[in-house]
Structure 1
Amino acid sequence: MKPNNLITAGVLGVIVIVLLFFSVTTVPSGHRGVLLQLGEVKSSILDEGFHFKLPFVQTVQPIEVRVQKEESSQTAASKDLQTVTATVAVNFSVDPAGVNKLYQEIGLDYKGRIIDPAIAEALKAVTAQYTAEELISKRPEVSAKVKDMLEEKLTKYFMKLEEINIKEFAFSEEFNNAIEQKQTAEQNALKATRDLERIKIEAEQQITQAQAEAESLRLKKAEVTPELIQLKEIEVQEKALQKWDGKLPSVTGGATPFIDVNGLTGNE
């Protein structure tokens, strides 16, 4: 083969290799490929894997369709005009069937253009419906409303909301102090109520006990009759006689002397 033919063959071979190189593309796992033809977005969406394309005419822009996370810190106002700072974590994914529309209408910076503003809008709209205390006590309800509003917003832009988590609600120092004072007052009021109930119960118990003792005395008095008194006197006299040794005292405590009968009898 002549040298010129060899050069021509070599050039053709290089051209073929280059054409083949630029005629194939791969879409990574967890992505979809947006097919661009001279800058125009085509309706075809490439699945993950190996694909052919027109060299130098068509290009492929991969877009991730796996679940992604976006965290945003937003400041809003509650119903009672308290400043609230909330940190919101959002899990979302791009709709695989809408990646070409997403790229065409929004571009690759969809987090900054859509996600963050949507979080801020939903959070401010929902927190304005609740007082600061309700935002704490009704947190699951608040989170559900934010999720519904955010889901509706993202669906319009070819994205799906997977989950939302409001990590925390932060308030001003003055509000935190007011909440702490209120909780302390409520605890003191509860303690006072319990003490009052305890005192009331103890008083009722004392009254009941006194009534029972009075009733017992009444019954005992009702049992005392003249016959019982006479019987008791007889019992006392009998006990005195049982203890007497048969001797009479020679002197009484009064002015009249007591005559010693035994002494007189002995003299006789």
Structure 2
Amino acid sequence: MFVSSTELNPKMKSWRPGKMIGVAVAVVLVLLIGGNAYSSVEYGHVGLYKTFGKLDDQVLSPGIHLKIPFIQSIIQVNTQVTKSETDTSASSKDLQPVSTHVAVNYSVNKESAFNLMNNIGGRFDSVIINPAIQEIVKEVTARYPAEDLITRRDIVAGEISELLTKRLAKYDLIVNDINIVNFKFSDAFNQSIEAKQVAQQQALKAENDLKRVQIEAKQKVAQAQAEAESLKLKKQEVTPELVQLKQIEVQEKALDKWDGKLPSVTGGATPFIDLDSLASK
């Protein structure tokens, strides 16, 4: 006689398809609720609870945090140093058009992340930082002639940094560093700067050449003076006694070379012996 499995195990009668589906749905719900009961805040960020669209002022540190499933969420605010780059067009003090590329490194004050997100929102870079950079760069650029913007770049960057730091501090943003990446001027101004540099180099070369000529002239004068002084000293050394002594020396040399014969002459007088001519033999 055949006996079914349901007759052997009466409990299986209660496991109908509908009940099994219900159990599966319950398990899925438990998993969904459990998975939405917590969230993590990444390193370098802080978190804020958001309940039905409203932010909570409690600042969450990096790590895992519990939340009410489907009711609460945790938004993350980056507190690491972030770079914002902006291009600005302005005019210098001498009305030269200037395009400036500025890079600003900033960060969010952790303790004040709620105020920033609640008052400004997550797009504070485009809402607050970029417009502030645009305005302040134009203000500072207008204080300097175009050439000074090039030669005094560090000072210009310092003034921009000071003003920008004060401006962004109102929104709990910290300016860590600012760099003027590039100043770009008109082609006409660049050509005038190049021509001025060439003229300065030529003037410097001419000045150096003049100094060299002056030094050489002074050297020649000094050499001539030294020679004149030397000749003067030599003349002072020539005394009458020295001249007479030299003459005696010449005569002695002449006598040493004389062979004892007198030259033949037609006159009756005895010729004078030319000692100088004998000395030269």
| Same topology, TM > 0.5 | yes
Q: Are the structure 2 counterparts of residues 134 and 242 from structure 1 closer, same or farther at C-alpha, using a change threshold of 3 Å?
A: same
Q: Does 1:240 align with 2:254?
A: yes
Task: Give 1:70 deviation, angstroms.
Answer: 1.5
Matches within 5 A, 1:117-266: 117-251=131-265, 257-258=266-267
- Distance (whole Å) between structure 1 residues aligned to residue 221 and residue 75 of structure 2: 89
> Which has the larger displacement, 214-223 or 181-190?
214-223
Corresponding residue number in structure 2 for 1:61: 75
Q: Are the structure 2 counterparts of residues 226 and 110 from structure 1 closer, same or farther at C-alpha, using a change threshold of 3 Å?
A: same
**TM-score scaled by structure 1?**
0.83
Corresponding residue number in structure 1 for 2:87: 73
Q: Does the residue aligned with 2:95 lie in a helix, a strand or coil?
A: coil
Amino acid aligned to 2:123? D
Task: Give 1:239 deviation, angstroms.
Answer: 2.0
Task: Give 1:137 deviation, angstroms.
Answer: 1.8
Task: Give 1:159 deviation, angstroms.
Answer: 1.6
Task: Kindly provide the CA deviation profile for residues 159-192 of structure 1, in whole angstroms up to 9, marking residues without a partner as x.
Answer: 2122222222222222222222222222222222
Task: Kindly provide the CA deviation profile for residues 23-50 of structure 1, in whole angstroms up to 9, marking residues without a partner as x.
Answer: 3222233222222222222222222222
- Distance (whole Å) between structure 1 residues aligned to residue 100 and residue 204 of structure 2: 32
Task: Identify unmatched segments of 5+ residues in structure 2.
Answer: 1-10, 271-281
Asked whether the equivalents of residues 250 and 258 of structure 1 are also in contact (C-alpha less than 8 Å), the reply is no
- Distance (whole Å) between structure 1 residues aligned to residue 250 and residue 28 of structure 2: 144
Asked whether the equivalents of residues 250 and 259 of structure 1 are also in contact (C-alpha less than 8 Å), the reply is no
Task: Kindly provide the CA deviation profile for residues 199-252 of structure 1, in whole angstroms up to 9, marking residues without a partner as x.
Answer: 22222222222222222222333333333333333222222222221222224x
> Which has the larger displacement, 15-24 or 25-34?
15-24
Amino acid aligned to 2:207? T
Pairwise CA RMSD: 2.6
Q: Does the residue aligned with 1:63 lie in a helix, a strand or coil?
A: strand
Task: Identify unmatched segments of 5+ residues in structure 1.
Answer: 252-256, 262-268
- Distance (whole Å) between structure 2 residues aligned to residue 222 and residue 62 of structure 1: 103
Task: Give 1:113 deviation, angstroms.
Answer: 0.9
**TM-score scaled by structure 2?**
0.80
